[in-house]
Chain A
Amino acid sequence: MAELTHGDATPLTTADGRPLKAALAAAQAKAKWRAFFLVLPLLLFIVITFVVPIGQMLQRSVYHDGFSKTSPNLAAWFDANPAGTEPDEAAFAALAADLVLMKDNRLAGEAGTRINYSVPGTRSLFTASARGADELAPPFREALTGQDAKWGDPLIWVAMREAASPWTTDFYLTGIDMQRTADGGIEKVAESSRVYLWLYARTFILSAVITGICLLLAFPIAHMLATLPMAKANLLMILVLLPFWTSLLVRTTSWIVLLQGQGVVNSLMVSLGIIDDAGRLQMIYNQTGTIIVMVHILLPFMVLPLYSVMRVIPPGYARAARSLGATSWTTFRRIYLPQTLPGIGAGVLLVFILAVGYYITPALVGGADGQLFSNQIQFHMSKSNWSQAAALAAMLLAGVLVLYWLYDRLIGIDKLKLG
């Protein structure tokens, strides 16, 4: 290699005469590509089997062609007349023509289902009217409203206007407890049927409670593990790692066995005389059950990051503080606790992220009031209301991604460790 000398007029070259700068840049680019090609197969795999499916699902949350594919005439009328126009005879004629189309393609049920999402109880309106669509004769307004007075309902016309285009925000409106009004605006739904926003908030509140309990329980044992001699600590660590490695369903089953009415804990308390046989506590299939079981399942995720931070805190700092006259409480608050903050941050965020998306445990032990947002997504999936499930999934995903971004910002994804 050419020797580096300052002020030399001739540029440095490699043995084969290329400028050194270019050769280095080429070598670095090559190394970059080599590293990238190692990652590429996995990146492609994840994009195809994970990112694309989620993206495709999100598209479903704003796209539903159940009504629009059989309503070209109505769509044309809606295009020609601005929102808020009273449906005239031409509009009813378009509706009649589309009902015939629905009947011929046997899609009245599907179209009705789409409108039913916006105005409950209207599916049968479409199936019934489509059945007799061929007999409809002008004047169509009288013919249709004569068949069913609901056809004059402005809410249905607002819903049809929205559904005549496959792209819609209806499912997000439902997701934030809103509905369309007869004059084309939006309003909050009746107090009694507001579900989603409260459930969303409750999911985050419950997750916060679970995270808080996890932190309270994990802190002392992580501290004990970090300060005990290595041999003893490793032994106790098994008590944290065994639950971590045990199947989620096994742990959930165990808690059902422990906490149910005729279960171990209740029977123990009855035999000890703490409660009487009639007063057995309801500790599972409700919110309490969800909290207890999720704390147990997520606790290792809190202990492990705390432990890895506490392990490297030099004990000398605390001793120095004590020797300078600090009480044990001051030493803990001013010296020890601040040093554990990175571990607390990592554990709290990780547990919170995992808790917000939990599905299995609430589904099995949550009963009625212990359900989380994920369970509502599954509910709509099981009812085949896929667009609604997708819209709710998008809302949950947005919350989780914000937390994930925060985790990456504060702690760094590459700092994530297991065991």
Chain B
Amino acid sequence: MALPTYADPLERAWYYAYIVICTLIFIFLIAPILVIIPLSFNAEPYFTFTSKMLSFDPEGYSLRWYNELVVKGMQSTGATGTAWWSDMWQSSVWVKAAKNSVIIGFWATILSTVLGTLAALGLSRPEMPSRRLIMAVLISPMIVPIIIVATGMFFFYSNPCSVIGLTCGTEEKPWRLTSTYLGVILAHAALGIPFVIITVTATLSGFDQSLIRAAASLGANPRTTFFKVIMPLILPGVISGALFAFVTSFDEVVAVLLIAGPEQQTIPRQMWNGIREAISPAILAVATILVVISIALLTTIEVLRRRSDAMRGVTGR
């Protein structure tokens, strides 16, 4: 927005004030995320910039917190070579948490993306019955407070069969989904579904339904139509929905707190511990790694969005 030539002095002043205000708000948004990156290389266990850091003295910086991340929980820090690596892979607390986060996130994403995409295809058809109600139900995991969702799941998963009056396993030790990977994956899939629905239906809203009829008239069966015509067009939307679902799972802590057992500790769960106990700069090292991951994800999303717009013929957003 440029200042029009007819602006009077007051408007001029207001215009510059507006730019300053906007700049400050942008700083408010981004500064907290950027400030932790240099602090994670602090050589001292402080949360402020030391004088050595401010004078860019190399001694003020170190990788000790990253090192601490890796070695925490390891059996033999003195080992070298392959022994060290296998020890790290097996017993480092944060490596284990990262593995769990990826495993749970991956399966939750697959589940919510497949189910969500199918449902979005159905929901975008004009003949879909009671669409508004069904949509409201499917979006609700995003709206209902997470503590309520997690509490409900905790009760349900500790004895899933009892709802329909059955006893699975034994009376004393019923079959349960709490403290299992499956339980956490199902919970995260449910939480990720609204994001898949929203992004895929948004992509489908610009989808030309006559392409399906064109494919059919040219002799394609529904399967071929889906894989050769529909899928390539909605793929960017599906992928960005999947990324949203993955990030939702990757960042989720409350359901993990209530449902997961000690074997299913994820990165956010470890961070939660770290923040609640004495907070150490090692947390900042994790945070920095996560910021780098989110920058990568954001870039992917932006590229996908532009491609999707270009494919659908939307110009200039």
* Chain A positions near chain B (C-beta within 8 angstroms): 28, 31-32, 34-39, 41-43, 45-47, 49-57, 60, 217, 220-221, 223-224, 227-228, 230, 234, 236, 238-243, 245-258, 260, 262-264, 267, 296, 299-300, 311, 322, 328, 353-354, 356-360, 364, 374, 377-378, 381, 386, 389-390, 393, 396-397, 400, 404, 408, 413-414, 416-419
Contacts and interface: CB of A to CB of B under 8 A. Distances in A.
B138 A397 contact: no
Interface stretch (B17-25, B65-73, B84-92, B165-173): B17-25
Given A43-B134, A49-B187, A359-B147, A242 B156 contact: no
Given A37-B122, A43-B137, A221-B26, A53 B153 contact: yes
Contact of B119 (A39, A228, A322, A386): A39
A257 to B, nearest CB: 5
Contact of A54 (B129, B149, B317): B149
B9 interface: no
Contact of A253 (B29, B125, B271): B271
Contacts of A54: 144, 148-149, 152
A256 B294 CA distance: 20
Contacts of B153: 49-50, 53
20 contacts: A36-B129, A38-B119, A39-B123, A43-B134, A43-B137, A49-B186, A50-B190, A53-B152, A223-B1, A228-B1, A238-B298, A243-B32, A245-B298, A246-B290, A253-B284, A256-B279, A262-B46, A357-B144, A374-B147, A413-B136
Interface in B91-126: 111, 115-116, 118-119, 121-123, 125
B283 interface: yes
Given A264-B47, A296-B32, A393-B151, A357 B145 contact: yes
Contacts of A364: 272, 275-276
Interface centre among B25, B111, B135, B141 (most CB of A within 10 A): B25
B143 interface: yes
A353 B143 contact: yes
B39 interface: yes
B180 to A, nearest CB: 14
Given A50-B149, A221-B22, A245-B247, A39 B144 contact: no
A364 B283 CA distance: 14
Interface stretch (B56-64, B75-83, B196-204, B213-221): B196-204
B250 interface: yes
A6 B134 CA distance: 41
Contacts of B302: 234, 238, 241
A47 B295 CA distance: 35
A262 B47 contact: yes
Closest 4 CB pairs of A and B: A357-B145, A38-B122, A53-B156, A53-B152
Contacts of A311: 317
